[in-house]
Structure 1
Amino acid sequence: MIYFGPKPDEGILYILKDFQNQLPSLLADFGVIFKSAPTVFAKPSRNEDIEVAMKQTSNENWQIAIVILNNVLHEVYESIKQWSNQKLGVPTQCVAVFNHFNEMLANIACVSQKINTKIGGINGIVNLKAALSHSSNEDLFMFVGADITHTTCSTDQPSIAAVVGSCDPTCSRYAARLSEQYPKIARCAVEIIKELDKMIIDLLQVYERTCGNCLPNRLVFYRDGVDDELFQKVLDNKINKIKDACQVVYGNRKLPRLTFVIIKKSHHTRFFADDGQYTKNIEAGTVIDQDIIHPTQFDFYLCSQAAIMGTSRSALYHVLHDENEFSSDDIQQLTYWLCHTDARCTKSVSVSAPVHYADLAAYAARMFKFDDELDHNEETDDLLNETENISLNDIETKVMIFNDKIQNNMWFV
């Protein structure tokens, strides 16, 4: 364990000692066992001290570094993640035990899940045979999630495309691939992932190595954040790229059956349960697939999370392409069960785990710094809102490379 913050006084040292003593037994309750007592050392939160501390963890082959942050700027957190994920390949779990000590102890289950995930463990799996009405022992599934985050989408702040894919037979371990997307001119935001084929090829190869040279025969792809008017454009581009990628990896072998699902979270539809006296949120697991959905297309609303406070917001799932021929019940139950496998939460989350991981990876990647070898043209101040006039040829890309030791780890949870 590493402490970054002000110089430890007697009170801080007491909390650190208490945390050091309690953590092994707390994590042991959730199956995370320490083989030796954790060691703690303190460092100032200067960049040079962070570098020294993180290099020490790498040289000593730490399995994971639990980083204790005390009243530090967000830049300190970013520097820690840059050294751990990008440069050295040492998994880290940051915790704030000061001012939030009791709250942190109350959420130790979530912390244990994150630690277990980052050291290669499995928290839970989906029983695919139980989730689907028709499934055989020969079926090998791969779940893929994709998302793009935008700020201004300029040469200074590019869009970041993230694609994550399950890479083990249990479909609970994921690897992420990321790419920066720059416009050649002006500023624009394009929802097409230009390097999707390369990312899928890479993820399929990771799956093949992990699963003993076996490849999935069923591929379920979840894509976040696409407007209705872009459905056909995104679908035409992505389906072709996914199939081209599969053809490269599979060769003469039979290609996987592909299901492509769009997830929409930004909508204005809300659902309530009315018992005649009170109106309340609908329960987790509620599906609405009649009356208010599209009259001809395959879509449904799923409220997969229990609202802690406020009004619960269901996600709208739109099945655009389905070679697996899922029934409505099958894809709804499969999606709902995937919401329970998220490593950041002990309960079900609001969207399926693959697309949530893609969102987390894209967001986390903004703190990393990569050498920029692109030749950017002079940027104008005009924001190009009409993205239909922008083609993929107007977008330059750069794949974001992480340390080999952590590239296929779930560093983003």
Structure 2
Amino acid sequence: MEEAPRELAPQAPPVQEAGPSQPSPEAPPPVQPREEHGPAEPTAGQEIVPTAPPQSSKSFRFPLRPGKGSIGTRCLVKANHFFAELPDKDLHHYDVSITPEVTSRVVSRAIIKELVNLYKHSYLGGRLPAYDGRKSLYTAGPLPFTSQEFHITLFDDDGGPGSERRRRNFKVVIKFAARADLRRLELFLAGRHAEAPQEALQVLDIVLRELPSSRPRYAPFGRLFFSPDLGRRQPLGDGLESWRGFYQSIRPTQMGLSLNIDMSATAFIEPLPVIEFVAQLLNCEIHSRPLSDVERVKIKKALRGVKVEVTHRGNMRRKYRISGLTTQATRELTFPVDEGGTIKSVVQYFQETYGFAIQHTYLPCLQVGNQQRPNYLPMEVCKIVERQRYSKRLNQNQIRALLEETCQHPRDRERDIIRMVKQNAYDKDDYAQEFGIKISDRLASVEARILPAPWLKYNETGREKDCLPRVGQWNMMNKKMVDGGKVRSWICVNFARNVQDSVVLGFCHELALMRHASGMASDLKRVCEIDLGIVSQCCCTKQVFKMNKQILANLALKINVKVGGRNTMLVDAVSRRIPLVTDRPTIIFGADVTHPPPGEDSSPSIAAVVASQDWPEVTKYAGLVSAQAHRQELIEDLYKVWQDPQRGTGATCILQKINWDGVSEGQFYQVLLYELNAIRKACASLEANYQPKVTFVVVQKRHHTRLFAHNHNDQNSIDRSGNILPGSYKQPLLHLCKVHPLCIVPPAYYAHLAAFRARFYMEPETSDSGSVASGPAGRGPQSASHCTRGPGGAAVRPLPALKDNVKRVMFYC
């Protein structure tokens, strides 16, 4: 018998409305480290850095959900959430200090595991603690002490039978910190408390992560766990392969506590001999020639931080982490071997000490250890250690291969998720039993509504003046853009050597005809003149020139918004029937911060803000971009209010602030305080005592909630791909989505595009060390006097200024 359907939406949605009578925020609680919600390619944890001390925060609280929707057709769907019983335990939090300091969570966990094995029944009172791998340890009840010191010995497993194992000694101090109260979580789930107690949720997450983290074939990364045993290891190219895995997280919802489980995949480095990895990376033969400088820099970037094991010492498989690459070939390298200054070559040393004759003497050596006293290892004696996730940027072919591996039919994904829950066997998990956590093994049934699609308005001169999307789809056939922009000159850049000029000219002509048919003003005779106006760049394949009319129409739509036109509008916006948006002058902001990929530690973060310009239609968004201190999440000095023309009549302006993804739920309160403070300051700079109402919304796409049809055989409840019907959501920003071709919340996505586009405006300077320093495009490196300073005094080079003719158009689309 199936469980009754319940509400899945978060208990306290991240929406805040603040009227002009409320004071500015001040003195927020301490900022907590960011924890990702498990994207396919998760980044390292990041910390919010406050830009300025806000003011009082006591008057700001997350509002409770006002009610449930009543529009649309009721339906039932399934979600990848599994009900969890709230444990009735006396949770205790203890601080953990390990000396000497350990930076690896794997080693930290090994130390605590050994401690528990040795002292569980003697010093720990029989308790089985849950450890986060860093500084915190939790127990389901008090330990017999408030502070205790332990001495633990670990042996490095880097040798074979009969080899000598390295012994390491650690001092561990466990000290009582606080009691973790589950009462607040109980009140929150009952709807009697507005803010989710993050510490209590974190404890439950840590408990449920203990079992998969301790399994030898699992590679844990935060809330993600990967294993070569969960599916085939698909090659991705350049020495990488994909591993399948799963994501898990305890989630507070209106149906109660639940465990969110989702399938995932990511890239791992293949455990290859280093020479073979390098050959795949360069995609060429390297066994009979030295490397070029460009090749050496590429290898250094790819291998820096990678762990390898040596193969020239028999059973002794000592492991090292690569710190760099030598500039000289192996045959040219020498080093002192004793205090007397005796010098030997690397080739000579390996022959005399290990009886190993180095064959590839023209290749550089790997550098391991610290830079002050580097240790040289020839490539041919090193093999990449297994279970290493590749955290650097993937190329387009690798991304495509990874997406193909992760793309599943909804029925197959649902099957794999259920199989994963049964395989994890939470009912037999010692840690879950210790802390009294019980997990259901059945998908949650959730009540939903299929909301009606909004009508879209097009130009009156077209054959179809308006349109009602069907099953989430519509096209531009027989329609004209509501406001066609004018293209005075343009050029098509062809990078393909195997495409004839006649094909390119045909493509240009067809695109120009499509633009004209869609309502854009353009001069067909000037289509192929060389004039650096609007540049349309095409890829290097023949297929790009053999496009059907719908693809050409999509290209025309993108060009139109870039030159200031508008493709479509909501009928309800024109007739002012959208509550809180069209009933009074409103500006909608979108904001995002994009960070450099892992490994590019000198590149800045890029912040972007867009704001609507055409109330009440809200379809055009002007944007600003700025370089921020590296990895900084909050936006600095970027809020400017675009004054609505009707504010001069005494009308109140509403600011609707929509953030793109990247903010975890534990950060909602801090981000709200700091960013709302920035908005208030910007408003006050325009006009004294100007405090408009503000609605603050966070859009998240990495929530890992998947909805499935309640009956996969019911053709009336699924689309052609097997997904649930469009509009089957709890709280969409549904109307705004329909004015974007991809059905994405426009202000949030536009800010994301603007921040991503701005990164290309920075001029990279690739040095021999492999680091990347960014400066404004078209200009050389700037001196420190031209840089802004982020927290900690880090220098941040500014972006080049936007030209006046693009500031008010959507150049970033």
TM-score band (shorter)?
Answer: 0.5 to 0.7
Over 3 Å counting, the alpha-carbon distance change for 1:216 and 1:148 in structure 2 is farther
Cα distance per residue 1:112-146 (max 9 Å; x no partner): 1111112211112233432228953xx11111111
Cα distance per residue 1:171-204 (max 9 Å; x no partner): 2111111111124xxxxx2321122xxx222xx2
Partner SS for 1:191? coil
Shift of 1:39: 3.0
Q: Are positions 1:237 and 2:646 aligned together?
A: no
Match of 1:131 among 578, 594, 598: 578
Match of 2:160 in 1: none
Q: Are positions 1:149 and 2:558 aligned together?
A: no
Shift of 1:38: 3.0
Cα distance per residue 1:61-105 (max 9 Å; x no partner): x4xx2435353xxxxxxxxxxxxxxxxxxxxxxxx7x32223364
Over 3 Å counting, the alpha-carbon distance change for 1:250 and 1:284 in structure 2 is farther
Q: Are positions 1:118 and 2:516 aligned together?
A: no
Contact 2:629 2:791 in 1 (8 A): no
1:232-271 aligned at under 5 Å gives the runs 232-252=669-689, 254-271=690-707
Q: In structure 2, what is the Cα distance between the partners aligned to 1:120 and 1:148?
A: 24
Match of 2:74 in 1: none
Partner SS for 1:29? helix
Q: Which has the higher strand share?
A: 2
Contact 1:181 1:396 in 2 (8 A): no
Aligned residues: CA RMSD? 3.2
Shift of 1:154: 6.4
Match of 1:191 in 2: 633
Q: In structure 2, what is the Cα distance between the partners aligned to 1:193 and 1:130?
A: 33
The one-letter code of the counterpart of 1:30 is S
Q: In structure 1, what is the Cα distance between the partners aligned to 2:688 and 2:558?
A: 37
Q: In structure 1, what is the Cα distance between the partners aligned to 2:619 and 2:506?
A: 33
Match of 2:526 among 38, 41, 61: 38
Shift of 1:16: 2.3
Cα distance per residue 1:301-345 (max 9 Å; x no partner): x4xxxxxxxxxxxxxxxxxxxxxxxxxxxxxxxx21111122xx2
Over 3 Å counting, the alpha-carbon distance change for 1:240 and 1:283 in structure 2 is same
The one-letter code of the counterpart of 2:545 is F
Cα distance per residue 1:204-255 (max 9 Å; x no partner): 24x45x7796787111000122011111111110111111111111335x43
The one-letter code of the counterpart of 1:410 is M
Q: Are positions 1:348 and 2:732 aligned together?
A: no
Q: In structure 2, what is the Cα distance between the partners aligned to 1:178 and 1:149?
A: 11
Partner SS for 1:131? coil
1:202-221 aligned at under 5 Å gives the runs 204-205=641-642, 207-208=643-644, 217-221=653-657
Q: In structure 2, what is the Cα distance between the partners aligned to 1:160 and 1:21?
A: 37
Q: In structure 2, what is the Cα distance between the partners aligned to 1:133 and 1:364?
A: 31
Q: In structure 2, what is the Cα distance between the partners aligned to 1:16 and 1:216?
A: 52
The one-letter code of the counterpart of 2:728 is T
Match of 2:34 in 1: none
Match of 1:273 in 2: 709
Shift of 1:24: 2.9
Count, aligned residues: 290
Match of 1:26 in 2: 514
Shift of 1:283: 1.7
Q: Are positions 1:108 and 2:517 aligned together?
A: no
Contact 2:589 2:609 in 1 (8 A): yes
The one-letter code of the counterpart of 2:694 is L
Over 3 Å counting, the alpha-carbon distance change for 1:238 and 1:111 in structure 2 is same
Match of 1:326 in 2: none
Structure with higher Rg: it is 2
Unaligned 5+ residue runs, structure 1? 42-52, 72-95, 184-188, 289-299, 303-334, 377-390
Over 3 Å counting, the alpha-carbon distance change for 1:149 and 1:5 in structure 2 is same
1:22-101 aligned at under 5 Å gives the runs 22-41=510-529, 56-57=531-532, 62=533, 65-69=534-538, 71=540, 98-101=542-545
Q: In structure 1, what is the Cα distance between the partners aligned to 2:504 and 2:803?
A: 30
Q: Of the two structures, which has the highest relative contact order with CA contacts closer than 8 Å and spacing of 6 or more?
A: 1
Match of 1:89 in 2: none
Shift of 1:281: 2.0
Shift of 1:106: 3.3
Shift of 1:36: 4.5
Q: In structure 2, what is the Cα distance between the partners aligned to 1:359 and 1:193?
A: 13
Match of 1:321 in 2: none
Q: Which has the higher helix share?
A: 1
Q: In structure 2, what is the Cα distance between the partners aligned to 1:368 and 1:216?
A: 37
TM-score with structure 2 setting the length = 0.33
1:148-187 aligned at under 5 Å gives the runs 148-151=593-596, 152=598, 156-169=602-615, 170-183=617-630
Over 3 Å counting, the alpha-carbon distance change for 1:149 and 1:104 in structure 2 is farther
Contact 1:179 1:398 in 2 (8 A): no
Unaligned 5+ residue runs, structure 2? 1-489, 763-775
Q: In structure 1, what is the Cα distance between the partners aligned to 2:581 and 2:804?
A: 38
Over 3 Å counting, the alpha-carbon distance change for 1:122 and 1:405 in structure 2 is same
